[in-house]
Amino acid sequence: MSERIVVGMSGGVDSSVAALLLKEQGYDVVGVFMKNWEEQDGNGTCTAETDWRDVRDVCDRIGIPYYSVNFAKEYWDRVFSYFLKEYRAGRTPNPDVLCNREIKFKAFLDFAMTLGAAKMATGHFVRTDGEGRLLKGTDPNKDQSYFLYMVHAEQLKKAVFPVGSMTKAEVRAIAEKNGLTVSAKKDSTGVCFIGERNFKKFLSEYLPAQPGDMVTPEGETVGRHDGLMYYTLGQRRGLGIGGRGDGRSWFVIGKDLEKNRLLVAQGEDHPLLYSTESIAEDVTWVGEAPMREGETIRCTARYRYRQPDQAVEATLKDGKLHLHALTPQRAVTPGQSAVLYDGDICLGGGIVTVVGGLSNRPPTPLWPVELSC
């Protein structure tokens, strides 16, 4: 009897091809669609129903059984409540990271085991060596290890990633060759559970907005913001500041939660957008910790998805990661993850809480400089 592998299927091309490849390799494959959100999109369409239809079509095409499982309550309790808490605190959270830890590699993994699975599989562009190490995907443009750094070695030993050594073009070509209806389906973007709907409108339904002033580092008021939760460091679009200054674009460079002010400045290379030091909390390691308390290692880090690896010195102090970047980093954002690497090996990381380190940027959680007023 062949080994059973349960595949988490989203209705997209990556997980569909993952299921196809495992089926071709002779495994007993079962497809499972996870419904993590109950709401309709802005047009009144339940996007989960569309994705569930695509899952059924693919599974029928390749000849495997399929199930749908509802994790909406788990998602709300373990991911969405954290998402809202972080926005209330003025940070910019990344729910995909927590979703992988709490839903896909916990709730879903547990469910897969109840179906008699030896392993679970997803369509992530990552690799593993079977010993619990998390490795970057072969395609640097699609590598998703940044989003999986909270997954532990023991969970990874029970997981396989069939498309991790492929490029996106190769995945689509396999889907088209095998007549999968999702071969040309557009990749999902936006926040993982709400898709591409109007984010500001969505967030306003859960958190009350408090408009306030946009001010420069010199204290000049140059506009009004709609609520600090709608903005993130380095943001250019949607500021609505026109006819002021030297004609260069305006960017968000900080937040003042106490006075409900958004700090903005002109120029994409404004010095206040850059920092060399940061602190990350909620530190997790994929496997054995690469350093002891008080030790410093040299490695690389990513402060956002698809960022090239950045050389850093990482020190573990009081359970927190203190990161010194060897070159100034642009728009390191509280609430996002700092993920550490040793070559292709993802070591782990933490959630950025403090940013600073340049002479004109004393380390504070969200507000990088003192205004002159």
- The catalytic site residues sit at 99, 192
The closest alpha carbon to 3, from 145, 178, 83, 121, belongs to 121
Residue 269: φ, ψ to 5°: -110, 25
Alpha helices in 3-132 (DSSP H): 13-24, 47-62, 72-75, 81-88, 95-99, 108-114
Q: Which helix (H) or strand (E) holds 175?
A: helix 168-177
Cβ-Cβ contacts under 8 Å for 203 (sequence gap 6 or more): 87, 229, 230
Convert 356-370 to b/e letters by CB count within 10 Å (16 or more is b).
bbeeebeeebbbbbe
> What angle (nearest 5°) sits at the alpha carbon of residue 1, between those of residues 151 and 5?
20
Closest CA to 323 of 303, 343, 306: 303
Q: Are 8 and 121 a contacting pair, CB within 8 Å?
A: yes
13 phi, psi to nearest 5 deg? -75, -35
